[in-house]
């Protein structure tokens, strides 16, 4: 659906992260159209983590709902990444420069409500999960994704001096396995 735009952002982010030097040199590596070893490595690692987390889902409800929750929360992570960063020229400029604390909090609330509502609609007739379980997983997914977004934003600020579209795309891809693994840990409790 997104033409692998976020995966491309992750590979560009990976190239910038493994590049030595100052923020400008790292940013240049991230913007280079050629994908290097860092980009391939990041893309492979986070794709494998996503598949491993998905392969670990055992119950029907988890198979149906966890990927949905993760995809909704990935977008929330991107908002929190933008909130924690400083804008730079490029596709993410207006998004990063216009995201404040109010928008981040609103994203968290709306993401949790959207995931909760979608799952509730399916669970009411099927009885897969009760409301308390739906609330637990959607709130946990929201909080974990917010933390991931803030952390990736902080890493980007330290290494690149800014958050751009590649960083936000990377945040989307990094958030997916982290949110899935967090929910799997909740199931194990």
In this prediction, residue 148 carries a pLDDT of: 98
Q: Is residue 84 part of a domain?
A: yes
- Pair 18, 50: CB distance under 8 Å: no
In a domain? residue 161 = yes
User: Is residue 10 in some structural domain?
Assistant: no
52 in a domain, yes or no?
Answer: no
Using CA atoms, how far apart are residues 33 and 91, in angstroms rounded to an integer? 15
- What's this model's pTM, rounded to 2 decimal places? 0.89
Residue range(s) defining the domain that contains residue 106 = 58-188
Task: Give the burial class of 117: count Cβ atoms within 10 A of its Cβ; 0-12 exposed, 13-18 middle, 19 or more buried.
Answer: exposed
CA–CA gap between residue 44 and residue 71 (Å, rounded):
19
pLDDT of residue 155: 95
List, for residues 57-99, the tens digit of each pLDDT value.
887 777 878 899 999 999 999 999 999 888 777 667 787 888 9
**Domain annotation covers residue 108:** yes
Residues 113-165 have pLDDT tens digits of 999 998 888 887 777 777 888 899 999 999 999 999 999 999 999 999 999 98
Residue 41 lies in a domain: no
CA distances from 78 to 64, 99, 146, 173 (A): 23, 10, 8, 10
Domain total in the chain: 1
With cut-offs at 50, 70 and 90, classify the pLDDT of residue 4: low
**38 assigned to some structural domain:** no
């Amino acid at each position: 659906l997104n033409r692998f735009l976020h995966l491309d952002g992750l590979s560009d982010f990976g190239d910038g992260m493994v590049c030595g030097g100052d923020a400008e040199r790292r940013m240049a590596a991230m913007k280079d159209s050629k994908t290097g070893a860092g980009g391939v490595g990041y893309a492979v690692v986070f794709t494998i983590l996503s598949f491993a987390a998905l392969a670990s889902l055992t119950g029907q409800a988890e198979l149906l709902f966890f990927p949905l929750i993760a995809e909704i929360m990935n977008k929330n992570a991107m908002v929190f990444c933008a909130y924690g960063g400083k804008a730079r020229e490029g596709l993410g400029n207006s998004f990063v420069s216009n995201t404040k604390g109010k928008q981040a909090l609103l994203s968290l609330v709306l993401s949790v409500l959207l995931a909760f509502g979608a799952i509730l609609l399916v669970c009411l007739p099927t009885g897969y999960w009760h409301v308390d379980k739906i609330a637990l997983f959607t709130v946990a997914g929201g909080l974990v994704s917010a933390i991931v977004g803030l952390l990736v934003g902080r890493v980007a600020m330290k290494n690149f001096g800014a958050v751009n579209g590649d960083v936000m795309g990377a945040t989307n891809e990094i958030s997916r396995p982290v949110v899935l693994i967090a929910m799997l840990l909740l199931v194990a409790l």
